[in-house]
Amino acid sequence: MKLNWNQLKTAIAVVVAAGAMAATAVHAQAQKPIKIGEINSYKAQPAFLEPYKKGMELAVEEVNAAGGINGRKLELFTRDDNANPGDAVRAAEELISREQVDVLAGSFLSNIGLALTDFAKQKKFFFLAGEPLTDKIVWQNGNRYTFRLRTSTYMQAAMLVPEAVKLKKKRWAIVYPNYEYGQSAAQTFKDLMKAAQPDVEFIAEQAPPLGKVDAGSVVQALADAKPDAIFNVLFGADLSKFVREGNTRGLFKDREVVSLLTGEPEYLDPLKDEAPNGWIVTGYPWYGIQTPEHKAFFLAYQAKYKDNPRLGSVVGYSVIRSLADGIKKAKSTDTEKLIAAFSGLEVLTPFGKVTYRALDHQSTMGAYVGKTANRSGAGTMVDYKYLDGAKYFPSDDEVRKLRAAP
């Protein structure tokens, strides 16, 4: 059939209009922001999570200033979980249904991290756990939808155990907050110590509720047991009360202490002139890290906030950087494509390059191990070194068995 001139012009116009509509749709998709839904215990754990949020916001600002991801800007939606797993799950539901976020991230407390890990599995939705430390998130309760950034309890305990063994102390006491993170850290330390030093004895344990430590009775119970050394897992206000009471009652005099997290500025700074000397700790000596990637982060953070970064700042920043790199690699926010992209993903963080292991979705972010020192009435870390997280895992076969466990 032949078309007359008017019919031909109409057909051409239809084709041009359709092409324009398609181009507009592609352009609109390219301009649509990537929405990150982030859930955390902001009100309950402000010491860590206020700097954490600042770190996230700095990373979002940097990514967007560089043109976004594949032409799309990042948009951050945060929700407070009230330190309650049920509230965290409800917040996740709301972020997905109402805000239509593309990915979920966050959590600080390990029990909440586990609740969101299970939610991700049930909803088949991508979740990057930033901070919760329990090993279960990537091992016993791990699933294909959940990845974790921060160095786990196993990894940090494995970093501390060689230093603990060097002390050549036989009788140990342990104090930890009685919830998932504390239980996990304490058990891992005991298991690794028994393997490394078969004659070790654990003669006393104190497990006060998180945020409700009766420091006087805890310190007295530990003192009565007369241990050679103490493994401490308390943090935040619980740590401050424990240190104050321990100093008052002489618990730490002539007694070695190995302490998880105590070198983090969030928890060491508030101790001020009560900061202990000689504790073996994991932490973040921001004042002494001279690597190019940390210098760049430090200067950008200080310029924006007129403050020094905390460890939370590093974690929050690295969460966003991980998501940005993963989405860029996947060229999509589709869950299955993100899972494929994150498996083996390499990300440059303020602590250097980390890799998200395909085996268990745990990143290889390491930690600084050193000793505390009280310098002019302020706590600091000395004799520290950075330990690469990639060197502190169980064997691959052990990890596979843990992930396959019912």
- Using a 10 angstrom Cβ sphere, with 0-12 exposed, 13-18 middle and 19 or more buried, the burial of residue 66 is exposed
pLDDT of 27 over the 80 cut: no
- pLDDT tens across 370-392, in order? 999 999 999 999 999 999 999 99
Q: What is the 3-state secondary structure (H, E, C) of the chain?
A: CCCCHHHHHHHHHHHHHHHHHHHHHHHHHHHCCEEEEEEECCCCCHHHHHHHHHHHHHHHHHHHHCCCECCECEEEEEEECCCCHHHHHHHHHHHHHCCCCCEEEECCCHHHHHHHHHHHHHHCCCEEECCCCCHHHCCCCCCCCEEECCCCHHHHHHHHHHHHHHCCCCEEEEECCCCHHHHHHHHHHHHHHHHHCCCCEEEEEECCCCCCCCHHHHHHHHHHHCCCEEEECCCHHHHHHHHHHHHHHCCCCCCEEEEEEEECHHHHHHHHHHCCCCCEEEECCHHHCCCHHHHHHHHHHHHHHCCCCCHHHHHHHHHHHHHHHHHHHHCCCCHHHHHHHHCCCEEEECCEEEEECCCCCEECCCEEEEEEEEECCEEEEEEEEEECHHHCCCCHHHHHHHHHCC
Q: Is the overall model pTM greater than 0.85, yes or no? A: yes
Name the residue type at position 378: A
pLDDT value for 312: 97
pLDDT of 9 over the 70 cut: no
User: Percentage of the chain surpassing pLDDT 70?
Assistant: 92
**Mean pLDDT over residues 157-162, rounded?**
98
pLDDT value for 16: 47
Cα angle: 232, vertex 310, 380; to 5 degrees: 60
**Mean pLDDT over residues 98-107, rounded?**
97
- Domains, the chain, ordered by start: 30-151+289-366 (3.40.50.2300), 154-288+368-391 (3.40.50.2300)
